[in-house]
Amino acid sequence: MIPKFLEGGAYGVLNDLLSILHADDGYAQPNRYEVIINPPSLPSSSSSQNKNWLSDMTNKSDLRRLSLRAASITLPGRNLSTSQESNIYGPDREIVEGVTYADDISINFQSSSGLEERVFFENWQRKAFNEETWNIGYYKDYIGSVDIYVLDKQDQRRYGIKLHEAFPKTIGANELSYGSENELMMLPISFTFRHWTSLDQNQNPPVNIFNKVFETVVNTAERNITRNIPKVLNKLF
């Protein structure tokens, strides 16, 4: 018996696939991307000496050079945590309990001759701890963000996400060898982050200006209060 379907014609044929392939949109290619590293912002009251804690790489041009050295990066995923609902008739079904994000992402940077990129991330990590007292810094003082864009063949941004509350968790080791004369030294950095959101304004809901201003005021007040807490009480918070 001949099968009977609601629509007999095929949805996609070879000519349609070829036209999509040769279109301006084409397909996403993993070698066309852009990375923007956004380190923690410095308090306005910082002294000129403390402003060099990121190896003088806090201006936009230096951060752009750092971002251009990102030779490879992992585009993070997202996972819905589910559990089985068995209190129904028929087959079980899974229901969503929460959402989780990738724990870490890896970025490999091409190193300059003076390893300024490594110094940059070493100094970023120093915002999280004190090398003399081993006290741990405030969370909001060492978190930044990372923007990742996927580009098309015309170098137009077609997809982008922002990693929120990101910081360099691990500075990878480098093997030095006489036999690596014609190789570039790569600096592996593992970033951890809390979550990511889309940078496409069409994908984001409208922002409530009042709530945004209120959140900013609350965060500023909290930051001022915690900054004035004596260091001996750090471990209590």
Per-residue pLDDT reduced to its tens digit, 128-166: 999 999 999 999 999 999 999 999 988 899 999 999 999
CA angle 235–231–37, rounded 5-degree value = 80
Domain ranges of the chain: 22-227
Distance CA 89, CA 101 (A): 33
Contact partners, residue 193, CB within 8 Å, separation at least 6: 76, 101, 105, 146, 163, 164, 165, 166, 167
225 to each of 41, 46, 218, 237, how far by Cα in Å? 18, 17, 11, 12
- What's the average model confidence in pLDDT over 203-229? 61
The DSSP bridge pattern shows strands 144-151 and 186-192 to be unpaired
Half-sphere exposure of 179 (CA within 13 A, CB side): 1
Distance CA 32, CA 200 (A): 18
pLDDT tens column, 79-123: 999 998 877 778 888 899 999 998 899 999 999 999 999 999 999
Q: Helix %, strand %, coil % for the chain, to 5?
A: 25, 30, 45
pLDDT value at residue 157: 92
Chain center to CA of 149: 10
165 to each of 6, 37, 48, 56, 147, how far by Cα in Å? 50, 12, 26, 22, 12
pLDDT at residue 30 is higher than 80: yes
- What's the average model confidence in pLDDT over 61-90? 88
- What's the average model confidence in pLDDT over 58-76? 87
The DSSP bridge pattern shows strands 93-101 and 78-85 to be antiparallel
E strand or H helix that includes residue 78: strand 78-85
Q: Helix, strand, or coil here: 58?
A: coil
